[in-house]
Every structure is written in C-alpha cells, then in structure tokens.
Structure 1
Amino acid sequence: MPAAARIRPGRFLAVTLAAAALLTGCAATPAPSSPSTASAPARGTGRLAVAYDAPRSPEDRAARAFLRAHRVLEDAAAYADARIALPRDVPLRAASCEAPNPYWDEKAGRITYCYGFVDDARRVFSRVDTDGTPAERAAAVDEDVVGLSNGVLFHELGHALVDLYDLPVTGREEDAVDQLAVLLLASGDERHADYAISAINAWGAMWEASEGGDPGVAGYSDVHSMDGQRFFNWACWLYGSDPARFADAVDGEGNPDGVLPRDRAALCPAEFRRVDSSWHTLLAPHLKQP
C-alpha cells in the first residue's frame, strides 16, 4: 500500500480530531433514516451494562486505568443505548483474556473487551501517528485507541443484535456488522466520525504492514474480509455518508492524499444508502426516538 493510502483527519475531515493482527480476530452528516432518527417505538428495555473484571497483570491494570480514564466502555454504551433498545440488559465487560480480541459470546450473552487490545492497538497506531512532538504523538495514539475501540465495540454489538433479535443476514455477518459500526459512527457527531477514521487507519496500517505477503489459506478462508478490503470498505461507507464533507477521501487530480479510487467512490453514496436502509429495516422495531 502506498504511504499516502491512509486517512489523514486534517484532509479527510474538515474538522480537527476531538481529543498485529489484533483486529483480524474480532468476532467480529446524519442520514435521514439513520438509527438516531427512527420513528418506530423501541420494544426492548435492555441496556449495555458496563463492568470491569479484575486484571491479571500489570499491563492489564494499566489498560483498565486507560479505559476508565477515557470512559471508553461507558461512553460507547451510552451512545448505543440512546439509539438501540435491547431485549434485556447485556453485560459489556472488560476482562483479561487469553487472546486480546474483543468478542461477543452468544452462549454467555455478553460482549467482552479484552484488556490486551489496548496495548495491541497502541502498537498499531504508533506506526501511524508519527507527526508532532512525543507528547503530541502519544496523545494522538490515545485518541486513536479510543476511536478504534468504539468501532470494535459497535462491531461486536452488531453480532449481539443479530443473535438477540434473530436478525436475517445475507452475505457474511462480519461484513454486515462492520456496516452497522460505520453507520452508528457516521450518523453521530464529528467525534464519532473521527472514531471511524481511527478504525480505517488501523486497517490501513495492518494492510501496509502485510503488503506483498500472501495471506495464505487462513487469510482467504477467514470469516472476516482482509485488512485491505476493510480499509476500503470503511473508507467508502464513511465517504458515502456525506460525499461533500468527506470529498478529500477520493483520489483525484489535485488531491494526492485521497485513498478511494474514483470508480469505487462513485458507488459509495449508493452503498451507504443501502447499508442505512437495510439496517434501519432490520432494527426498526428496536430503535428509540431521537
């Protein structure tokens, strides 16, 4: 991947940031019909219930302190709860895990954010956030870890909704819940759009790190799309949510930092409308009043 194929908030967004294969294992301007503007009354009364398990290592204790200081789980839960009703309370816990990948556990009925994800995400973004003083770079990494964490949590929430409400999914569920994560972030404020950019940058960094290598059978057969595909899909859907606002995402004359090929970019507004319409239809009985 060329070094320019990375989302730079100063170019892609007309705003300032608000503030490894770790993601391969994750199980996972407002649109008129986005979850935040639904008119149907929500049926469920459940919410995401945040909890923190005791960490097992000094690194996990530091990760717990980071999550609490930045209210990562609490803010993500509040943001989702304001938009989508659940049939029952769903635990959203942070815990020490064997692997660092957040996941939805259908049997246990809970979403787990693994403490190890913080350090793994920090390593990814240390390759991306290279501008400014050491303090500025550290702050940028922290902001991106928060942003990526939100994207991953909404991805796992998508898995939970599919199971809890027995939602039909055509195609790969991993792609579908990626779409929900982008939809939730794109239909929020500038801070949440920045969170989507953090996730896009993570896919790009991992794609760049693996460029030229054959992913092999494991990569091609995995239930997730490959890092490069997720990079372009997330960038396309965010651009499609508001092409005027995110015009700098498109590769074109006079815009060397654009990452989306023009042929794909031309399809992105329709792609986003289909994502919006599809998830709105699936979740209509469970969406809350704005």
Structure 2
Amino acid sequence: MLRKALLGLLFITSSVLASELVELKYQSPKGKDEQAAYQLVVESGINQQFSALVEEVFPFNNAMTLVYGGDEGPLYDPSIHTLFIPYSFILEAQHYFSQNRSADEVNQGVLDTLMHTLLHEAGHALVVDVDIPILGREEDAVDNLATIIMLEYLEEGAQAAINAADMFSYESEEGSGYYDFGEYIGDHSFDLQRYFATLCLVYGSDPKEYADLLNEIEGDYLAEQKEVCEENYQQLSVNWHQYLKRR
C-alpha cells in the first residue's frame, strides 16, 4: 500500500543498520502476542534475506527504512521513504495459516507472506525512487514484481509465492461473501484476484512443474488461461527487469 503514515510511528526503541540500502527499526512490541511476532521476525533472518535481495535487485538511489510496529500498514510512505509493517499483520497471517495449515507449516507460511509483502512495499518505493512509469494499477504492478523476484531470486521461491497467494485466498474465504462499495473503488484488486494472479505467474514460470496449479479454474477456461499465464510471466519478467539491476 502506498500512503503516508502517522508521524507518531517514528518513535523507535531500537535500531540497527541491516544493509547500505535498508535501515531496520523496531517499535517495542505491546503484549505477549506482539512480542512473539517480534521474536519470529528477528530469529527467522528474514530481514537479512530481504536486505540482500534489495542490494542484489533494486537499483535504489536512496536508502530506505523498514519499521516494524505501530498501528498502520503494511504500507510505504513516500514522503519519508519508509516501509511500515505492524506486528498485527504478522499475527493476522498466523491466524489464517493456523486455521488452514498443519502446525509445522504455519511459521513458514507467515514468513513467505511477509516476504511477499516486503517486496511489494519495496516495489512502491522503487517506483517512487527511480520514477518508474506505471500504466495501470500500481498495486497490481508491485504484486507482480514481488512474485517475480520470489520466483527468480529466492531458493524455493515458487512455493513461497504459493504460500503468499494462499494468504489472499484465506482472506477471501473469511470475507462476507460480497464486496462493499469501498472495496470496488480501493487501490487493490480483490483478494481472490490477487490469489489467482500470483498462481498464474508461478505456473507461467514453469508450466511443466506446476501443471496442476491452476486446476481450480473451470475446464472451459483452463487451457486458454494457461497460455495467458505463460505469456504474462515472460512479458512481466522482461518488462520489470528493465528497471532492476542486471543479472
């Protein structure tokens, strides 16, 4: 999400430089649940992995800040070039994965969802920092970017992207069954659209390996959609790499 955060979120209790391009900061967790979310993030090494990806892939002109904690987000605030991830987002992901996955899969699902979100918000930052023209909805564009980076730069990136897609599906399933007016005029596509868009790119990246991934789609549309997904993946990967560091 691209928006301005409240300035009150800038009062940070601890700070560490994660890399030359990412300054990592934490707000103090509130309560046992937020403390557990904080511990999961710190002990997982995800911030080091994210920082390494930023160094490898994103041609930033300016270092950005990543803040955990607060009440808003996930979002990117362009006025201060800062990403915000509230602990509540991690707890929400834990809720969804604990309801739908075995206990030993929960934390990995949460971390994969978090990585996709970090890359999504970094995508917003990149659009602003290097002035990338976006023809269409920026939220969809940076969703695609996050998925492509996971597929092409992360070990087990396809499964990680599938886990992140599942989060969108879980959110959709827990919805009311209809959309209110505000959702139709919002910045994001509907959760189920984001789910299928992510799976589409995973399939397109390796149609043989993921031949059954899109089988939820009705048979009349499946063959055509598989062709579209292959084309979309190739096109989006080539287009985004015009603005990423050369491999």
Could you say whether these structures have the same fold, taking a TM-score greater than 0.5 normalized by the shorter chain as the test?
yes
CA RMSD of aligned residues (A): 2.2
- Name 2:207's counterpart in structure 1: 243
- Name 2:159's counterpart in structure 1: 194
- Name 1:115's counterpart in structure 2: 87
- Name 2:198's counterpart in structure 1: 234
Quote the offset at 1:75 in angstroms.
1.4
- Name 1:70's counterpart in structure 2: 44
- C-alpha change, 1:203 and 1:261, in structure 2 (3 Å) is farther
- Which structure has more relative contact order (CA 8 Å, sep 6+)? It is 1
Choose from 220, 236, 241 the match for 2:184. Answer: 220
Q: Deviations over 1:93-146 (max 9, x none)?
A: 212x224x31111112111121111110011112220xxxxxxx2220101000
- Name 1:52's counterpart in structure 2: 26
- Name 1:280's counterpart in structure 2: 241
- Name 2:131's counterpart in structure 1: 166
Does 2:175 match 1:203?
no
C-alpha contact (below 8 Å) 2:199/2:214 kept by paired residues: no
2:35 maps to a residue whose letter is R
- 4+ residue segments displaced more than 4 Å: none
SS at match of 1:247: coil
- Name 1:145's counterpart in structure 2: 110
- Name 2:229's counterpart in structure 1: 268
Distance 1:264 1:206 in 2: 24
Does 2:46 match 1:85?
no
Distance 2:214 2:34 in 1: 39
SS at match of 2:209: coil
1:65 maps to a residue whose letter is Q
Quote the offset at 1:46 in angstroms.
5.2
Distance 2:65 2:93 in 1: 23
Does 2:74 match 1:102?
yes
Distance 2:31 2:123 in 1: 30
Quote the offset at 1:189 in angstroms.
4.0
Distance 1:189 1:152 in 2: 14
2:140 maps to a residue whose letter is D
Identity of aligned residues (%): 27
1:98 maps to a residue whose letter is D
Q: Deviations over 1:176-206 (max 9, x none)?
A: 0001001101112442222101111111112
Normalised to the residue count of structure 1, the TM-score between the two structures is 0.73
Normalised to the residue count of structure 2, the TM-score between the two structures is 0.85
- C-alpha change, 1:261 and 1:128, in structure 2 (3 Å) is farther
How many residues end up aligned between the 2 structures?
230
C-alpha contact (below 8 Å) 1:73/1:92 kept by paired residues: no
1:81 maps to a residue whose letter is E
Distance 2:204 2:107 in 1: 27
Distance 2:194 2:105 in 1: 22
**Going by fraction, where is helix more abundant, 1 or 2?**
2
C-alpha contact (below 8 Å) 2:2/2:77 kept by paired residues: no
Quote the offset at 1:247 in angstroms.
1.2
- Name 2:11's counterpart in structure 1: none
SS at match of 1:146: helix
Structure 1: segments with no counterpart, 5+ residues: 1-25, 29-44, 130-136
